[in-house]
Amino acid sequence: MATATTLPQAGILTPAADHHLHIQSPQVTAELRRVAERLPAMFAGLNPAILDSRSGADALRVLDDAGVAQGVLLSEAYMYASVFATAGLANPARLTREENMFNVEAAEHSGGRLKAFIGVNPFCDFALDEIRYWGERGGAAGIKLHLANSGFEPDLEEHIGRLASVFREANRLGFALLVHLRPAGTYNEGHIDRIIEDVLSQAPDVVIQLAHAGGGGGLDDPTLLALERFCGAIAEQRPGTRGLLFDLAAVLVRDVGDSANVERLARFVAVARSIGLDRFLIGSDWPTLCSPLEHTALLLSQMPFDDDEWLVLARNRADYLD
């Protein structure tokens, strides 16, 4: 099966899988372009290719370039019910279904190399219907939730309740969850404890992969604080933490010459070691910043793991890839 080889000293690492990729149909690309026209600041500093359509074949090509056997497609269908969605968009439920189908079909035509996660805004009124549709049809490995994009307010009881019901449904249907947890607004210890207590506990039997290692891309103090809270919950074997995984997608700093960033990277590695490296997955978030090959080189150049640790990270594969 998939093997990983690595020569970290030479700056080369070949992960067994890329656990965080995005393709886009022309339809969702058109919506993204409308958003980018209205909110250009949201896209500043990102790879301009994010505004082009990409297929499953494109994903296989960038995986081949990096020597990576398998990849995980995270549907961007949640864009249609996001807080940034074009006002008055006709039939967001149908558009959501079509984008999810685009991702699932790409996986189905990949000979087992690609797995698809459907996307949906968990706070929209058709969220559970969409999840149940895929439970019946099959073909999806899990559900991607982008909570910043979905307007998550962790102090709202209603939001915690809706998230809990989506996690419960995923658990019932055997869907892995892949969650960009960090909201656009504040993110503190109280919020994380509440999420562990009331949300993670609802999906004790499935993988819960926290995108960007529990942050929102980049590596700042709230992300480290969140990771430390999750570390404590795992040590206490809290319900919902058995299948908890963290992907390294875009967990990068912009300025490695900055001493505060050097300290953050060292602190990240220390927390990852105490959580256990078997819970950390390579993922690139292609094409948000760069290609999988370039992303792995950036991780290698920034994170002070030793060679043996990089080997472990490169070999890690989430169960849903089987």
Q: Which is nearer to Zn ion, 58 or 285 (CB)?
A: 285
Site string for Zn ion, 238-277 (x = CB under 5 A): ----------------------------------------
Specify the residue for token string 């149909």.
25
CB 285 to Zn ion: min, Å = 4
Q: Which is nearer to Zn ion, 169 or 285 (CB)?
A: 285
Task: Give the whole-angstrom CA distance, residue 77 versus residue 147.
Answer: 13
Residues in Cβ contact with 102 at an 8 Å cutoff, skipping those fewer than 6 apart: 23, 25, 28, 75
Return the DSSP state at 286.
B
133 SS3 class: helix
Number of residues in the chain: 322
Q: Locate tokens 């993670």: which residue?
A: 200
Nearest CB to Zn ion, comparing residues 79 and 203: 79
Closest CA to 46 of 227, 303, 269, 252: 252
- Backbone Cα Rg of the chain: 18
Minimum Å distance from CB 227 to Zn ion?
18
Binding span for Zn ion by CB under 5 A among 43-51, 89-97, 132-140, 278-286: 278-286
Residues 107-146 that bind Zn ion (CB under 5 A): none
136 — phi, psi (to 5°)?
Answer: -80, -45
Return the number of the residue (6 or 288) whose C-beta is nearest Zn ion.
288
Q: Least Å distance between CB 257 and Zn ion?
A: 27
Which residues fall within 8 angstroms of residue 264, CB to CB, at 6 or more apart? 219, 220, 221, 224, 253
Q: Does 285 bind Zn ion (CB under 5 A)?
A: yes
Nearest distance from residue 296's CB to Zn ion, in Å?
16
Q: Which stretch binds Zn ion (CB under 5 A): 129-137, 253-261, 282-290, 303-311?
A: 282-290
- Smallest separation, CB 239 to Zn ion (Å): 27
Distance CA 302, CA 305 (A): 9
Min separation Cβ 158 and Zn ion, Å: 26
> Which residues on neighbouring strands pair with residue 209, listed in sequence order?
178, 245
58 makes contact with Zn ion (CB under 5 A) = no
Residues touching Zn ion, count (CB under 5 A): 1
As a whole number of angstroms, the distance between CA 232 and CA 239 comes to: 12
Q: Give the range of 39-47, 228-236, 285-293, 307-315 binding Zn ion by CB under 5 A.
A: 285-293
218 burial type by CB count under 10 A (0-12 exposed, 13-18 middle, 19+ buried): middle
Which lies closer to Zn ion via its Cβ, residue 22 or residue 238?
A: 22
Residue with smallest beta-carbon separation from Zn ion: 285
Minimum separation from the CB atom of position 81 to Zn ion (A)? 17
Cβ distance to Zn ion smaller for residue 31 or 285: 285
Report, in Å, the least distance between residue 136 CB and Zn ion: 27
Residue 76 binds Zn ion, judged by CB under 5 A = no
Do the Cβ atoms of 147 and 179 come closer than 8 Å? yes
Binding residues for Zn ion, rule: CB under 5 A, are: 285
